[in-house]
Amino acid sequence: MAAALWLSLTLTIAVTARPALAQGTALWLDAGASSVRQPGSTARPAGTLGIGAEHRTRRFAVTGDGAATVATDSIGALQLVLRSHFSPLSWTLSEVEASTTTIGITMPGNDGNRAALFRQYVQHRAIRLFAGAGVGRTSRYGLDSRSAAQQLGAWSTRNTWRGTLAGTLTLQRSTTNDWQLIEAAGLVLKAPAPSYGLHDAAFDIAWQRARFAMSASHTWRAGFGETRGTGRGHAYAASWLVSGPVTLVAQGGRQLADPLRGIPQASYAGAMVRIQRGRSALPRSRDARSAGLTVFDGVAGAEYRLQPREGGGELVVTIQAPPDALVEVACSATEWAPVTMPRVGNAFVARLPLGSGAHRIAVRINGGPWRAPHGLSSVADDFGGRLGIIVVP
C-alpha cells in the first residue's frame, strides 16, 4: 500500500537507561516537541504534555502516566498508562501494564486502543529472563480489530567505573487482524489467513553514568505464516539531568507498527524536558502515544440538522432569536421564496424537505442581511452576501 491508511501521531518519549529507583513517591511533568512522519505522509510537528506519578516500596511499585499530544494540525491524543510491579521474592518480579488511548482529543468518540500486558521476570545473578503475553483492541474508523502478542527475553546489567551498562533481547510473536495498520507498514497476506503473523527480534542497549544516559535499539521484523514482508526499526535517545529536577531528553528513530497498542509505523525526532519532584530519577521508558481521528456526527453550536429521508433528507434549521423577532429562511430548493420560521419552544424552527443534491440556504433576522446558518460551509452569493451549502445524499 502506497500510503498509510490512517493518520496518527506518535511520540516515543525518553527510552533511556532504567535507573536504580529508590523507594518513595515521585511526580513528574513532561513537555516536549516532536516531528513525526508516517509512510506516505508528510512530517507533522507535534507538542506533548505529560504528567506522571510513581510510588515504590521494597516489593511493590505502581506508576500512572498520562499524556496529551497535539499536532500543529490540531490532531490530538490522550494516553493513560498504568503499570505495576510486584516482587515478593528477590529473584522474581511480576509486571502488569494496562494502557488506554483516545485518538482524537479535539472531539469525543470511540476511536482508540486498549491494551494489557503481563510479564514475569526471573532473575539469576546479573541476568533476568522474562516471558510475557498481551492483548490489544483498536477501534478505528468504525472497525474494531484485535491483537495478541507473546514475548520471551533476557535482560542483563553490568556496573563498571565507566557507568552502568544494560542490554535487553526481546523475541516477540504477534498476531492481528488490523489490516489498516499492517498494510500501511508494507506487510501483506499472500494467501487467505485468519490474521497477520509477525515475528520481532529487538535488541536494546543502554548506558548511564552520573547525569547522562543514552540508549539505542534495533528491531528486526518478519512476517510468518501467510504474512509476507519485513521491517527494521531503530531508536536512539539521550538524556541529561541538567540540575535539580530538570532533565532534557533528545530522541529519534523509526518505530515499527505496534499491533498491540495500535501504533502505526513512523519516523520521528524530538526533544523533551522533564521536571520531577520527589526522589531523583531519569525519565524511564514510555510507550508511544498515538493519535488519530474519530467519528463525530454533528457540529457543536450548529443551527441546522439534516435528517435522512427516502430520496433525500429533511433539513431542520433552528435559530435562536428574541421571541418577537421575525426570522426567515430561504433556499434554492424553494426558489428562494422567504419562509417565516415559526417559534417552537425557545427557538425559531423550520423543516425543509430537500431532494438529493447540493442546496444553498440562508437565514435572516428582522429583515437584516441574509447569512449562512452556523455550522454550514458558506460561499459568496453573487449579491455581496453569504449563503450556506448543504449536500444531501
Partner 1 sequence: MSYAMIVIVSARAIAVASLFAMAPVLVAQNTVTSDAATMGALDLIEDATARSAIRTLITDAAAHGLPTAPLVTKVREGLAKRATPDRIRSATNLLAQRLAVASSALAPSRSAEELAAGADALQVGVPQGTLRDMRRVWPTKPLTVPLGVLAEMIASGVPHASASRRVRDLLLKGASTAQLASLGANVRADIVAGLAPDAAMELRSRGVLSLIRAEASLSTVGPASPSTPIRPGTPPVKR
- By beta-carbon proximity to partner 1, the closer residue of 97 and 178 is 178
Q: Report the 3 state secondary structure along 133-160.
A: EEEEEEEECCEEEEEEEEEEEEEEEEEE
Nearer to partner 1, 345 or 382 (CB): 382
Residue 59's region, left for phi above 0, alpha for psi from -120 to 50, else beta, is alpha
Shortest spacing between CB 181 and partner 1, in angstroms:
10
Which residue number, 146 or 279, has a Cβ lying nearer to partner 1? 146
Of the two residues 245 and 375, which places its CB atom closer to partner 1 in the complex? 375
Which residues are within 8 A (CB) of 163 and not within 5 positions of it... i.e. 6 or more apart?
A: 207, 208, 209, 210
Least distance to partner 1, CB of residue 234, Å: 27
CB of 152 to partner 1, least distance (A): 25
Least Å distance, CB 303 to partner 1, is 12
Distance between CA 34 and CA 269 in Å, rounded? 6
Assign 330 to helix, strand or coil: strand
Closest CB to partner 1 among residues 193, 242:
193
CB of 291 to partner 1, least distance (A): 10
Q: How far is the CB of 354 from partner 1 (least distance, A)?
A: 11
Q: Are 106 and 293 in contact (CB under 8 A)?
A: no
Name the DSSP class of 265: P
Q: Which three cell numbers stand for residue 210?
A: 552520573
- 371 DSSP assignment: B
Q: How far is the CB of 79 from partner 1 (least distance, A)?
A: 19
State the residue for C-alpha cell 457540529: 299
**Nearest Cα residue to 6 out of 348, 378, 295:** 295
DSSP annotation of 62 = E
Q: Provide the minimum distance between the beta carbon of 310 and partner 1 in the complex, in angstroms, as a whole number.
A: 12
- Among the listed residues 84, 95, 12, 64, the one whose alpha carbon sits nearest the alpha carbon of residue 263: 12
- Residue 304 CA to residue 390 CA, distance in Å, equals 10
What's the grid cell of residue 23? Answer: 523507594
Toward partner 1, which CB reaches closer, 86 or 296?
296
Which residues lie closer than 8 Å to 214 by C-beta, 6 or more apart?
16, 17, 206, 207, 208, 236, 237, 238, 239
Going by C-alpha positions, the residue among 343, 340, 389, 384 that lies closest to residue 366 is 340
Q: Provide, rounded to whole angstroms, the least separation between the CB of residue 275 and partner 1.
A: 28
Nearer to partner 1, 64 or 375 (CB): 375
Strand partners, 328: 340, 364
Is 91 or 296 the residue whose CB approaches partner 1 more closely? 296
* Cβ closest to partner 1, residue 119 vs residue 386: 386
Nearer CB in complex with partner 1: 246/379:
379
Q: Is 117 exposed, middle or buried (0-12, 13-18, 19+ CB in 10 A)?
A: buried
Task: Tell me the closest approach of the beta carbon of residue 154 to partner 1, in angstroms.
Answer: 32
